[in-house]
A and B are shown apart, each in its own frame.
Chain A
Amino acid sequence: MRSIGTIFRRELASYFATPLAYIFIVIFLVMAGILTFFVGNFFERGQADLQAFFTFHPWLYLVLIPALSMRLWAEERKSGTIELFLTLPVSMMAAVLGKFLAAWAFAGIALALTFPFWITVNYLGNPDNGVILASYVGSFLMAGAFLAVGACLSALTKNQVIAFVITAAASFLFTVSGSPIVLGLFQSWAPDSVLSTVSSFSFLTHFTAITRGVIDARDAVYFLSVIGAFLLANAVLVDLKKAD
């Protein structure tokens, strides 16, 4: 399992070897700020919480996470390094996990750098820091799920732009399946069981549940199983597509 660590370090360092890491972090923070303060009416709400901040995370990830995940396998396939990488003495699972964990850690770094929001809200009032912590954990789990989807789909193509677009599209489906718009479509005719199945597939539903302040085991298990399932599919796809 030491090889997971070695791959993890190489991958994480590679984000910072190009301007990608810095651009990603700056844009993530700026967009989070704009959404929170201007769209989310952080001040006008007059409440000392970070609801306005976390509400937009699914939509923020929808756009930004595919940019992070698109290179994971597509770039290796494009540059041919996949042949080098997969003839090193590492198992496929170690290769997939090492890459995924590096991307997840990077997303975690970007998320952690939003701490000024937390300072601000603590400066302005007395928020429930338990709820905020739970929301951060939920947001991190959700980022992992988005990344696992992206990593998996990035193994499908050599073209990073295609990887970006299909990941964004898939993530969109995973997100909106819990939104009122989609659920409204079903509400009028479908039985409740269908409705709850559709919404239970949604990142949004589970994330919203966590941001209420309780990390329910079911929500955590949901995100972890999405991650597990997509990484498994990722390993299978890499194996199938590596030589194309």
Chain B
Amino acid sequence: MSEMIEVRHLAKHFGPIVAVDDVSFSVGRGEVLGFLGPNGAGKSTTMKMITGFLAPSSGTAVVCGADVTRDAIAVKRKIGYLPEGAPAYPDMTPAGFLDFIAHIRGFTGAEARKRVALAIERVALGEVLFQPIDTLSKGFKRRVGIAQALLHDPEVLIMDEPTDGLDPNQKHEVRRLIAAMAPDKAIIISTHILEEVDAVCSRAMIIAHGKLLADGTPGALEARSRHHNAVRLVLPAADEAAAIAALAQLADVAAVEPVDDGEGHALIVFPRERRSIIGAVTDLLRNRHWEAQALRVERGSLDDVFRQITMTH
């Protein structure tokens, strides 16, 4: 069976508030699905329902053949879950905490010790093993949470903002870990860091107001940006006005906009329907003997798509 997580018409209402509104999707082995969405979009609520923490108002989730509304405990056995903020018992040490998790997951004796040792090694927790979790840095706390989720080598891994609050090195470490585990698991992570989706996800979903608004590979989502295949060019100031007029006349050009952003002043030439216009633009520049100081084709960024999709809804 390749579909390891199947979410069917999942919905959650809190009184009059609709937190998750009829969401359906499935995730197969080897996929890393990124949930993207503004805060309060319903990402965490969806995860809480899949992991059996919250009962859905309607719909269900099936994890490795177990239905969360019928047999939540079977689902909980299959899943490794890192809740938002990586909660762990503050008085316990990572060693004691992981030992507790191992036992509650049904491992005993030598097997439990082996599992704990392996989890500790995977997230490099060795140096803080006997310090109360309370006293650990945010990075180590997060690693304790991840170790806890990995301990039983689950087929399905669900992590709510796994890199939130970590420094760039720690983020890199966590992403490397996720990528290493990806081939034989189904993984869902939520994030609002868009670069993270590019870095680790094979698929991204944009959620806002509880609705699923877009679903595709990060590349396919980027292609939905109006910046996709746009040309960014920098011309001498003297030529600019003429260039704007001439570029706008080209067949596939939708608009030409001057911008002043972090990279300085430039013209952005937007194509119609995201067609490739770089050839037409360079031909024009050559014919008119305009010397471009910089010229680049844009891929479009998830940022744009994200804003475009979440703002219009």
B136 smallest CB distance to A (angstroms): 14
Q: Is B83 an interface residue (CB 8 A)?
A: yes
Residue of A2, A3, A10, A87 near B83 (CB, 8 A) is A87
Q: Are A243 and B48 closer than 8 Å at their CB atoms?
A: yes
Given the contacts A18-B91, A79-B90, A81-B88, A90 and B104 also touching, CB distance less than 8 Å: yes
Q: Are B90 and A84 closer than 8 Å at their CB atoms?
A: no
Q: Is A7 an interface residue (CB 8 A)?
A: yes
Q: Using Cβ atoms and an 8 Å threshold, which residues of chain A touch B52?
A: 87
Q: Are B87 and A88 closer than 8 Å at their CB atoms?
A: no
Rounded to whole angstroms, the CA-CA distance of A87 and B92 in the bound complex is: 19
Rounded to whole angstroms, the CA-CA distance of A14 and B96 in the bound complex is: 10
Q: Which chain A residues numbered 1 to 51 have a C-beta less than 8 Å away from chain B?
A: 2-3, 6-7, 10, 13-14, 17-18
Q: Using Cβ atoms and an 8 Å threshold, which residues of chain B touch A87?
A: 51-53, 76, 79, 81, 83
Rounded to whole angstroms, the CA-CA distance of A3 and B105 in the bound complex is: 8
Q: Using Cβ atoms and an 8 Å threshold, which residues of chain A touch B77?
A: 89
Query: How many chain-A residues does the 8 Å CB contact rule pick out?
Result: 22
Q: Are A14 and B92 closer than 8 Å at their CB atoms?
A: yes
Number of A-B contacts (CB under 8 A): 65
Q: Are A3 and B104 closer than 8 Å at their CB atoms?
A: yes
Query: How many chain-B residues does the 8 Å CB contact rule pick out?
Result: 30
Given the contacts A89-B73, A91-B73, A243 and B53 also touching, CB distance less than 8 Å: yes
Residue of B79, B83, B84, B103 near A6 (CB, 8 A) is B103
Rounded to whole angstroms, the CA-CA distance of A4 and B53 in the bound complex is: 19
Rounded to whole angstroms, the CA-CA distance of A170 and B132 in the bound complex is: 35
Q: Are B87 and A10 closer than 8 Å at their CB atoms?
A: no
Q: 1/0 per position for B19-50, CB-CB distance to A under 8 A?
A: 00000000000000000000000000000100
Q: Is B101 an interface residue (CB 8 A)?
A: yes
Q: Are B87 and A7 closer than 8 Å at their CB atoms?
A: no
Q: Using Cβ atoms and an 8 Å threshold, which residues of chain A touch B105?
A: 88-89
Residue of B103, B106, B148 near A84 (CB, 8 A) is B148
Q: Is A86 an interface residue (CB 8 A)?
A: yes
Q: Using Cβ atoms and an 8 Å threshold, which residues of chain A touch B76?
A: 87-89
A20 smallest CB distance to B (angstroms): 9
Q: Is B258 an interface residue (CB 8 A)?
A: no
Rounded to whole angstroms, the CA-CA distance of A10 and B91 in the bound complex is: 11
Rounded to whole angstroms, the CA-CA distance of A117 and B77 in the bound complex is: 49
Q: Are A6 and B53 closer than 8 Å at their CB atoms?
A: no
Greatest chain B CB density within 10 A among A84, A88, A91, A242 is at A84
Rounded to whole angstroms, the CA-CA distance of A18 and B48 in the bound complex is: 31
Return the 6 tightest CB-CB contacts between A and B, nearest first.
Answer: A80-B87, A17-B91, A83-B83, A89-B76, A6-B103, A89-B77
Q: A91-B73, A242-B53, A243-B48 are in contact. List 4 more A-B contacts (CB 8 A).
A: A6-B104, A84-B81, A84-B88, A89-B106
30 A-B pairs, CB-CB below 8 angstroms? A2-B103, A6-B104, A7-B104, A10-B89, A14-B89, A14-B92, A17-B91, A17-B92, A18-B91, A79-B89, A80-B85, A81-B88, A81-B89, A83-B48, A83-B87, A84-B87, A84-B88, A84-B145, A87-B51, A87-B52, A87-B81, A88-B101, A88-B104, A88-B105, A89-B73, A89-B77, A89-B104, A91-B73, A242-B53, A243-B54
